[in-house]
Amino acid sequence: MKLSEYHKKRDFKKTAEPKGKIKKSGDAQHFVVQKHEASHLHFDWRLEIDGVLVSWAVPKGPSADPSVKRLAMHVEDHPMDYIDFEGTIPKGQYGGGTVMVWDTGTYMAEGAESVAESKKMLTKMHQEGNIKVVMQGEKLKGSYHLVRMSGKKEEWLLMKGKDEFATKRNFNQNSVLTGRTLPQIAKDKDSDTWESGKKAATTKSGDKNDILENVTKKKASAPSFTADDVAGAKRRKTFPKDWKPQLATLTDAVFDNEDWLFENKYDGYRALIQINKGKVELTSRNGLSFNKKYAPLVDAFGSIKDDMILDGEIVAEDAKGKSHFQWLQDYEENPDRGKLKCYVFDILYFNGYDLTPLPLLQRKRILEALLPKQESIVYSAHTIGKGKKALEKVAKQGGEGLIAKKADSVYHVNKRSKDWLKIKVTNEQEMVIGGYTEPKGTRSGFGALLLGYYEGDTFIYSGKVGTGFNETSLKELHDALKKLEVKTCPFAEKPKEPGVHWVKPQLVAQIKYSEWTAAGSLRHPVFVALRTDKKAKNVVREKPVSKKKVVAKDTETANSFDTEKVPITNPDKVFWPKEGHTKGDVIAYYNAMAEYVLKYVKDRPQSLRRNPDGIKNEGFFQKDMGGKAPKWATTRKLKSLADGESIEYLICNNKETLMYMANLGCIEINPWSSRIGSINNPDYIIFDLDPNEASIKDLVTTAKKVKEILDKLNIKGYLKTSGGKGLHIFIPVKPKYTYDQTRDFSHLISHTVHSALPDITSLERMPKNRVGKIYLDFLQNGKGKTMACAYSLRPRDRATVSTPLDWSELNGKFDIKKYNIKTVPKRVEEKGDLWEGFFEDAVDLKAVLGQLEKA
């Protein structure tokens, strides 16, 4: 292949693009997909074939959905040196604009068993116009097909093959090399192009400069983070010295779920690493200092010059990487036995900013970028979605288990949360020693330990353990127990054991066991070690929560929230007399659908529409929750536009608040279009299509016309039923424009729709002047105005739900009434959230208006 066409189009004295030449292929075939904002935004798909990058321009970019076909225009070959080109091409030059390395990696021909075979197959596939490959990128994975259209020379189709990587999810739109967005690349004043190792992605954003400017220089392959990753961090005036770690809840089974990530469960001591003004403090989960015991780690973390709080686990490993808890305990006496390490899996604080409100994946991205590369300080990696496979791997390696974590969860300081779950290969937990028996035969020290746990102030017997000891541990433990001997039994019910020495219940032992017996005793217990990081009074029986209660989507899980915090009243009260649906059905629906609803209401003021008597009357709106909301609930005071008085709004950021609202009779959930922190800047625009006695056919025609106009502007419109008779179309926008600006944009699009469909649409506000026409209600875009959120129930006949739709569902069989309290949970279980990735598609209104001006 030749590069003459590529060279002919470029003046290399003016553009920083590589001149390049044909290169001999190496041991792998590489690819790059570059996002390119030139005269129009598009993606460049480039495959290494015969020493060059064979290239296609893909206007709408690749999709992971096998049902989506993308046009791909075959363009000139590019040199292999182009594979990491990221930066700006000067105006006036061919392709002038901004280029991002959107994804890169290796690939092979589908069906090839070696790279050599793949290279031969790709040459032939390209000639025949039918390319089938398996991608191994950071974003693009699995099978993709490029097929030349019949009778066309340069027009091809790009499609995702059907495999385990097929999904309807949208891709992250940042650079895989630097983490930057296209605007950030375009604004980089330091150089025209990004070069390997030159800089990390540290574009500044407002008052978060001091977070970003402290990131050290990194290589191209090193992780980095951007201003977007720290946008939700909170400024703190003082260093938080009293924080304790978030704890996980034991679960009964492993599971696969793309919304969860899975980390190794380490067999060691949990520790917070606090670094403040150069001083390092390692503390246990109870606030005890580990500095003296694990001094080498204090020295290792001392290399970090920034203020931060990290969360991790201290372990002692053998040469094969297997941890030994006993070695860790005895480290001061035997510092040469094993390697002392700290696996770090979270960052809570950095240089004056509280990072706990950020989603977990963002925190881990920041952590990986900041953590120093040392043998004793290890970043805890994770896998997403595939818990079963991860647990199999851990079991083969002799590991303890996994910690499953919700990928979008915030960090709950000093709380046990179901956002983190413990999944163990073998059962293991702490027990308190309440006594010991006399030894028999040749055994020294004692025979068995009598174990127990607490329920409140009651100390409950859980059996005895007589294995897992050696001569040294028998002697040391016996010496410690003799000092704690008492005359009376500490257990609530005295165990029927002969020759028992009772002790004060102060020592905590780590115990392995197979299961709990029906009588409440440990079966096949084995002593592991004493623990000094946990108080005896805090030892309770860990009861596995069913993973179905955490990730299930049916309405059978009405009790999986904290009913002590949110007591339920009158669950049998009938809210829909005709259908017989009750208040309890509303609560069960929102409990089952919480993970979907919360995404669209988080951090938004709520206007509570309460229907305490069901749908038999209109109910009433309640905005001011001052002095009415429970103490644990989040509220925010905002000034009323009408009279300037402060109104204390409820903010629904968790399931308990959602359940509280449901128990108040809030059938419908009505959030603002903007969030706390950017309250004057909405992050979506609403098109409310109100039929006002018009036909379903006209409603569908109008919705499709809105989509047609948005498509021309490269804007993705998200469709849902109103839950009544109409349809809603939402556009996610970047929260930097005012309500007036978003309303003006909605008016502009609505006016365009009305001009195209004057006979069936109307912009008239008065219902009597638009009977039989679709009202294009752009006035819903105003500060303080609310709209039923995605998956909200409506106080209407049939208990309908405002349900996200796929545009293909607007067909001859479309029935707006079939989406209700009973059908939607099952629908979501089958189809997932059709609005997944909504906020990642946020558009910049200024750029869109610029397109309109050029049109």
The arrangement of secondary structure in 247-424, i.e. its CATH architecture, is 2-Layer Sandwich (3.30)
pLDDT tens profile 400-442: 899 999 998 999 999 988 899 998 877 788 999 999 999 988 8
Q: What is the structure's pLDDT at 356?
A: 94
Catalytic pick among 265, 386, 406, 424: 265
Within 10 A of 600 (CB to CB), how many other CB atoms are there? 21
In sign, the C-alpha dihedral spanning 211, 214, 217, 222 is negative
Close Cβ partners of 303 (under 8 Å, ≥ 6 residues apart)? 372, 374
pLDDT tens profile 202-223: 333 334 444 554 443 333 334 5
- Closest by CA position to 838, among listed 79, 11, 49, 169: 169
Query: Of the spans 62-71, 110-119, 643-652, which averages the highest pLDDT?
Result: 62-71
Q: Is 279 among the residues known to form the active site?
A: no
> Does the pLDDT at position 546 exceed 80?
no
Of the listed ranges 337-341, 477-481, 562-566, the one predicted with least confidence: 562-566
- Pair of tokens at residue 541: 């029986």
> Does the pLDDT at position 553 exceed 80?
no
Intervals of CATH 2.40.50.140 along the chain: 427-538
- Pair of tokens at residue 126: 């390209």
Cα–Cα dist 550/563, whole Å = 15
Residue type, 132: K
Average pLDDT over residues 607-621: 90
pLDDT tens profile 502-532: 999 999 999 988 778 767 888 889 898 898 8
> Does the pLDDT at position 19 exceed 90?
no
Q: What is the structure's pLDDT at 482?
A: 95
Residue type, 591: N
Burial class (CB in 10 A: 0-12, 13-18, 19+), 288: middle
Q: Which CATH class is domain 427-538?
A: mainly beta
Q: What is the structure's pLDDT at 552?
A: 37
User: Helix, strand or coil for residue 451?
Assistant: strand
Q: 3-state secondary structure string, 46-107?
A: EEEECCEEEEEEECCCCCCCCCCEEEEEEEEEECHHHHHCEEEECCCCCCCEEEEEEEEEEE
- Pair of tokens at residue 716: 């993705």
Q: Which residue has the higher pLDDT, 406 or 567?
A: 406
Q: Which residue has the higher pLDDT, 450 or 785?
A: 450
Intervals of CATH 3.90.920.10 along the chain: 553-855
**What CATH number does the domain located at 553-855 have?**
3.90.920.10
Average pLDDT over residues 374-391: 92
- Per-residue pLDDT band at 449 (split at 50, 70, 90): very high
- Pair of tokens at residue 93: 């030059």
- Closest by CA position to 594, among listed 806, 375, 419: 419
User: What is the longest distance spanned by two Cα atoms in the chain?
Assistant: 100
Query: Of the spans 328-337, 714-723, 829-838, which averages the highest pLDDT?
Result: 714-723
Burial class (CB in 10 A: 0-12, 13-18, 19+), 108: buried
Yes or no: say if 726 and 677 are a contact pair by the CB < 8 Å rule.
no
> Does the pLDDT at position 821 exceed 90?
yes
In sign, the C-alpha dihedral spanning 470, 475, 477, 481 is positive
Whole-number average pLDDT of the chain: 86
> Does the pLDDT at position 544 exceed 90?
no
Q: What is the structure's pLDDT at 815?
A: 85
Yes or no: say if 99 and 85 are a contact pair by the CB < 8 Å rule.
yes
Cα–Cα dist 314/342, whole Å = 4
Phi, psi of 619 (to 5 degrees): 75, -160
- Per-residue pLDDT band at 193 (split at 50, 70, 90): very low
- Closest by CA position to 331, among listed 314, 316, 319: 316
Yes or no: say if 156 and 129 are a contact pair by the CB < 8 Å rule.
yes
| pTM greater than 0.75 (yes/no) | no
Intervals of CATH 3.30.470.30 along the chain: 247-424
